[in-house]
């Protein structure tokens, strides 16, 4: 499990969703790292793609609504980062389906998901918590 306490933003809903994302992506990496019986893993890959596409929308919406609520100054650029990520996941979903879920591409995606998640949650999303703190506002 790659989730760390220090990744918390300080907003319960967002932190819970982040933790779930980390959990799912960690699991996904573990499954696809081992290439044995690859055919049996394709269902897991499909399920993860659907989860990522659906859950990420829910989560990004929650985060964006929260940022609107606190008048977060970087909302627009944050939205752009979210929409680029959604596009990456959707593009991978299309390619994977078209090409029959090749190991290398699935593993590459799993690595990218984790790298993106760590970078985004540990850096970009942290700024939301810091902003709230400096405003002295309520979370």
Task: Tell the smallest beta-carbon distance from residue 7 to Fe ion (Å).
Answer: 12
Residue 117 parent element (H or E): helix 103-119
Q: Which residues bind to Fe ion, rule: CB under 5 A?
A: 63, 125
Shortest distance (Å) from residue 53 CB to Fe ion: 16
The closest alpha carbon to 61, from 43, 39, 78, belongs to 78
Specify the residue, 15 or 125, whose C-beta has the smaller distance to Fe ion.
125
Pair 21, 137: CB distance under 8 Å: no
User: Based on CB atoms, which residue is closest to Fe ion, 4 or 103?
Assistant: 4
Could you tell me the smallest distance in angstroms from the CB atom of residue 137 to Fe ion? 18
In this complex, which beta carbon is closest to Fe ion, that of residue 72 or of residue 101?
A: 72
């Amino acid at each position: 499990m790659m989730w760390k306490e220090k990744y918390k933003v300080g907003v319960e809903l967002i932190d819970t969703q982040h933790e779930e994302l980390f959990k799912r992506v960690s699991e996904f990496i573990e499954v696809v790292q081992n290439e044995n019986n690859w055919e049996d893993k394709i269902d897991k890959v499909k399920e993860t793609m659907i989860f990522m596409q659906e859950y990420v929308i829910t989560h990004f919406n929650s985060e964006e609504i929260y940022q609107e609520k606190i008048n977060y100054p970087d909302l627009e650029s944050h939205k752009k980062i979210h929409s680029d990520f959604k596009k990456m996941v959707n593009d991978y979903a299309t390619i994977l389906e078209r090409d029959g879920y090749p190991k290398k591409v699935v593993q590459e995606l799993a690595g990218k998901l984790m790298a993106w998640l760590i970078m985004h949650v540990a850096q970009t999303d942290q700024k939301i918590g810091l902003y709230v703190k400096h405003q002295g506002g309520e979370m």
